[in-house]
Copies of this chain bind each other. A is one copy, B any other.
Amino acid sequence: MSPAHKLCMIPGPIEFHEDVLQAMATPATSHVAPNFIPAFGESIELLRKVLFTTGQPFIIAGSGTLGWDMTACNLVEAGEDVLVCNSGYFGDRFGECLETYGAKVTHLRVPIGESPKLAAVAAALKAKKFKAITITHVDTSTGVLSDIKGIAEVVRTESPETLVIVDGVCSVGSEEIRMDAWGIDVVVTASQKALGAPPGLCIMGVSERAIGVFKARKTPVANYYANWNRWLPIMNAYESRKPSYFATPAVQNVFALHVSLKQIVEQGVEQRFVAHKEASAKAKKFIHDLGLTLVPTKVEHAANGMSAVYYPEGVAATDLLPKLAAHGIVAAGGLHVEIAPKYFRIGHMGISVTEPERGHLDATLNALKASLAECGYKGAL
């Protein structure tokens, strides 16, 4: 760690393992080099283990946002209806993306801090036939965790053909996801959150069923770079340990992702879920004991990889965040437009929770307590 480095305790990018960072500095390597092809191919295989799926992973140069385009342009045809379970900023944005490709979007909105209710999802599915339903697993803007297992069950009961699409950008690697067992068709994510690698890769898992729906499209895909017809042969080639080319992959980022995925699978995906739940419980108890209030209205639907917390009375963003930074902790401000100045966000994902001996979470919570005191907050300190 460089001396000037502050701990990056935001809900992504997160702190990286030293071996991951070292992989980012891999010397120049051809995208069809004998050492790169197996790293890419094995990353695809490892993603299946992380997502508990026999489906098709994708690893593409871009950001998680590109995964929305990939979902919208490949799986939805113009004029088809999509139900968006909207628990914050990212539901709004995913809806906009779907509309760009001609989807007719119905938002099932919940108040800030609430998670989508199963009964409301069931009622919406009874009222109209939807090609797909999208759920933001963890809305990074509010820290709300949606019950994707429960929602997928409701979908399979009420409307079995509806594709279940999960925005897992802020959940893959920190929250429990079992794609095949739970009947989830698409998981969109990115490299820089609980997968523990630097930003720059759009990552997806797509069920065999969804690939079948894609292949049965009646209209052409209205996007060039995001078109799975171009990427499926590439993913298949790398997995078969063969060279192929559509667009130059982000070689160093893929090497880094490969290192992180190997660590995740070797340490155990199940154990990772437990570690994130325990770290989150510790963080939430500390926050509660300080007399602070979470943005999620109930701890049962609060994310395990992050905490969104209201500033206590008399403490403002401009006070607390710089004080945390002075203690060596980078936290994030609010993002949801309706409450942005009223809350802050802390990430607790990846090595900061799976390797507690690093002391990241303790340092963060202690810095929070000290910074609040410096802000003049007495509360429950």
Q: Does A253 contact B (CB under 8 A)?
A: yes
Give min CB distance, A47 to chain B, whole Å: 18
Q: Does A96 contact B (CB under 8 A)?
A: yes
Known A-B contacts A62-B62, A248-B64, A252-B200; the reply to A97 vs B30 at CB < 8 A is no
Of A17-25, A178-186, A207-215, A264-272, the one contacting chain B is A17-25
Give min CB distance, A59 to chain B, whole Å: 12
Inter-chain contact B25/A13, CB cutoff 8 Å: no
Give min CB distance, A354 to chain B, whole Å: 15
Q: A13-B251, A63-B247, A66-B225 are in contact. List 18 more A-B contacts (CB 8 A).
A: A5-B27, A7-B28, A31-B199, A61-B66, A62-B62, A63-B225, A64-B247, A64-B248, A65-B248, A68-B225, A69-B223, A69-B226, A97-B225, A101-B224, A192-B251, A198-B253, A199-B252, A250-B253
A27's partner among B2, B26, B252, B335 (CB-CB below 8 A) is: B2
Give min CB distance, A322 to chain B, whole Å: 10
Which of A64, A222, A245 has the most CB atoms of chain B within a 10 A radius of its CB? Answer: A222
Inter-chain contact B30/A8, CB cutoff 8 Å: yes
Known A-B contacts A100-B222, A246-B65; the reply to A30 vs B330 at CB < 8 A is yes
Inter-chain contact A200/B33, CB cutoff 8 Å: no
Chain B residues, Cβ within 8 Å of A332? 30
Closest to A248 in B: B199
The answer for the CA separation of A329 and B10 in the assembled complex, in Å, is 42
Closest to A6 in B: B33
Chain B residues, Cβ within 8 Å of A245? 335
The answer for the CA separation of A252 and B13 in the assembled complex, in Å, is 11
**1/0 contact trace for A330-346 toward B, CB 8 Å?**
10100100000000000
Q: Does A72 contact B (CB under 8 A)?
A: yes
Inter-chain contact A253/B21, CB cutoff 8 Å: no
Q: Does A127 contact B (CB under 8 A)?
A: no
The answer for the CA separation of A272 and B241 in the assembled complex, in Å, is 38
Inter-chain contact A330/B224, CB cutoff 8 Å: no
